[in-house]
Amino acid sequence: MNVKIHSVKFDADNKLLGFIEEKVNKLEVFYDNILGAEVFLRLEKDTQERENKIVEIKLDVAKNPLFSKKQCKTFEEATDQSVDALRRQLMKYKNKVRKV
């Protein structure tokens, strides 16, 4: 799967990029026809709770793109939550496609 990672207004280190790519690639276990993924990493202006890391993941699946956006204290935590949400969406989509 082709994974494109965009860090908006900052430079992400290679360790973080590798972590995100590994997590997103694991989604192929749940559904084979994922064409690609696009990940956006953003830093929101500093908030009181310090949950200012935002991860947005868009999966290109045949006929129907899937999307998840999570905001957490770290990019790793937000990535984990986004991938979990996409995993659930993929399972629902897969069941829906099988019924047709």
**The pLDDT of residue 15 is above 80:** yes
- What pLDDT is recorded for position 93? 92
pTM: 0.91
pLDDT tens sequence across 48-57: 667 889 999 9
- What pLDDT is recorded for position 51? 83
Fold of 2-99: Double Stranded RNA Binding Domain (3.30.160)
Indicate the domain borders of the chain.
Answer: 2-99
- What pLDDT is recorded for position 11? 93
- Percent of the residues in the chain that have a pLDDT greater than 70, as a whole number: 96
Reported for 25-30, long-range contacts at CB under 8 A and 24+ positions apart, including other chains, are: 25/1, 26/83, 27/1, 27/59, 27/83, 27/86, 27/87, 27/90, 28/1, 30/87, 30/90, 30/91, 30/94
